[in-house]
């Protein structure tokens, strides 16, 4: 029997995502000037206010206020009527030094024996239902909002958009677990004020269905067959959405962990990513398990794979690796046998994850909106400036955990 599955996404202007982006901008600036920085930074945003809190061990000093303002400006909160504006919002910093009790469990005389920054379990997932090995409903949800943000910045075809937005896509799957069509699309977008609410709602719905959706179909032809004239559209279903962003809803770092990962497919260990340096396995091991799952699926080990790894704080070697292929394995081995081979291919000690995926670089701002997984690996040059006038230009690899650089090794190990 066919079934429905739904995933959601949020825009870069959503309050929780503003918080994530500020936290990750701080991470990048710390790592740019001191690659050994240990940082756990949380952000809260509300009407006219940003509050920064967390723990840091670093040799560098940052102008955290200016970094936060630059992020807010880049997102698009540049007008006073938003009640949250880059130049005028208040910013309070309560960042302090990292506890030595925690740091002693991470730093070792031998870098290779670096301990995990916390206990916990992390999951990575991949499926071959999309070209980037991501769940389709989430991929579409992200894509809708990325294109909506492009329309907002162009300010030509649609001129009333504000930064805050959410999307949701419901797919119908066939008996053999293949997506066959889009059943429903929900989009709520913040907008400028209109004189008449009824006309406003009608115009927004018409614009999104007649402008946004055709752009998606044209830009992403691999999804075109999923669109149909029976899709149920819910566009701003509550009505007026003028009050939004941090003025409409307080935002916090780490409150969109399902949007950040797999949209409800697979599993999640509960740990957020943004604001954490890579010694925190909540982040680094989640990237590493995604890297494993994607390379296994791309190599043809299975159609769908979930990878779990777990750690004890201060201990380098993981507690164990678990694999679930959901009955789709193609290599004549049990999931536990696959897990044993994976243990020999991928060193999951924290230091080796950092080295393999080049995680001690300022690469995190780009992850903080529209998902940490399923993104395109690329090399970029970034420039950072410190309060004392020092300028640092670095060339870094983004989304290294999305590279298919272990496919040949996986095929050799499984005789594919």
According to the annotation, is 414 in a ligand binding site? Answer: no
C-alpha neighbours within 13 Å on the C-beta side of residue 177 = 10
According to the annotation, is 164 in a ligand binding site? Answer: yes
According to the annotation, is 227 in a ligand binding site? Answer: no
According to the annotation, is 276 in a ligand binding site? Answer: yes
Dihedral pair phi/psi, residue 265, rounded to 5°: -80, 160
According to the annotation, is 166 in a ligand binding site? Answer: yes
According to the annotation, is 390 in a ligand binding site? Answer: no
According to the annotation, is 57 in a ligand binding site? Answer: no
According to the annotation, is 49 in a ligand binding site? Answer: no
According to the annotation, is 232 in a ligand binding site? Answer: no
As a whole number of angstroms, the distance between CA 370 and CA 375 comes to 9
Report the candidate in 366, 168, 171, 134 with the shortest Cα–Cα distance to residue 262: 134
Residue 74's SS3 state is helix
Contact 325, 333 (CB under 8 A): no
According to the annotation, is 392 in a ligand binding site? Answer: no
Q: Which two tokens stand for residue 29?
A: 């600036």
Give the CA angle between residues 204, 263, 236 to the nearest 5°. 15
According to the annotation, is 79 in a ligand binding site? Answer: no
According to the annotation, is 98 in a ligand binding site? Answer: yes
According to the annotation, is 165 in a ligand binding site? Answer: yes
Residue 199's SS3 state is helix
According to the annotation, is 256 in a ligand binding site? Answer: yes
**Annotated binding-site residue numbers:** 14, 16, 42, 55, 98, 164-166, 240-241, 249, 255-256, 272, 276, 280
**Annotated binding-site residue numbers for ATP:** 14, 164-166, 240-241, 249, 255-256, 272, 276
**Annotated binding-site residue numbers for Mg(2+):** 16
**Annotated binding-site residue numbers for K(+):** 42
**Annotated binding-site residue numbers for L-methionine:** 55, 98, 249, 280
């Amino acid at each position: 029997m066919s079934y429905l599955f739904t995933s959601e996404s949020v825009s870069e202007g959503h309050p929780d995502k503003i918080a994530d982006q500020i936290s990750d901008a701080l991470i990048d600036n710390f790592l740019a000037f001191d690659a050994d920085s240990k940082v756990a930074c949380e952000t809260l945003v509300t009407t006219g206010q940003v509050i920064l809190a967390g723990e840091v061990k670093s040799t560098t000093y940052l102008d955290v206020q200016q970094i936060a303002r630059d992020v807010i400006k880049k997102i698009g909160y540049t007008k006073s009527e938003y009640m949250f504006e880059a130049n005028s919002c208040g910013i309070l910093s309560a960042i302090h030094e990292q506890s030595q009790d925690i740091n002693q469990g991470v730093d070792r005389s031998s870098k290779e024996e670096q301990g995990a920054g916390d206990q916990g379990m992390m999951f990575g997932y991949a499926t071959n239902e999309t070209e980037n090995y991501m769940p389709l409903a989430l991929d579409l949800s992200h894509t809708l909002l990325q294109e909506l943000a492009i329309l907002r910045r162009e300010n030509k075809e649609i001129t009333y958009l504000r930064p805050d937005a959410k999307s949701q896509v419901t797919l119908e799957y066939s008996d053999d677990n293949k997506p066959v069509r889009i059943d429903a699309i929900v989009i709520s977008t913040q907008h400028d004020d209109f004189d008449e609410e009824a006309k406003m709602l009608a115009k927004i719905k018409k614009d999104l269905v007649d402008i946004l959706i055709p752009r998606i179909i044209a830009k992403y032809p691999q999804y075109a067959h999923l669109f149909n004239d029976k899709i149920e559209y819910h566009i701003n279903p509550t009505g007026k959405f003028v009050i939004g962003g941090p003025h409409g809803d307080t935002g916090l770092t780490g409150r969109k962990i399902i949007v950040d990962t797999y949209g409800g497919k697979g599993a999640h260990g509960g740990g957020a990513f943004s604001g954490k340096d890579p010694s925190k396995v909540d982040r680094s091991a989640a990237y590493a398990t995604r890297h494993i799952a994607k390379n296994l699926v791309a190599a043809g080990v299975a159609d769908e794979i979930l990878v779990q790894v777990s750690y004890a704080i201060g201990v380098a070697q993981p507690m164990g690796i678990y694999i679930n292929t959901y009955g789709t394995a193609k290599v004549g081995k049990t999931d536990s046998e696959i897990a044993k081979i994976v243990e020999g291919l991928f060193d999951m000690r924290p230091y080796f994850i950092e080295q393999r995926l080049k995680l001690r670089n300022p690469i995190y701002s780009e992850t903080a909106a529209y998902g940490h997984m399923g993104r395109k690996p690329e090399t970029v040059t970034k420039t950072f400036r410190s309060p004392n006038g020092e300028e640092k230009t670095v060339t870094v690899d983004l989304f290294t955990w999305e590279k298919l650089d272990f496919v040949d090794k996986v095929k050799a190990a499984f005789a594919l």
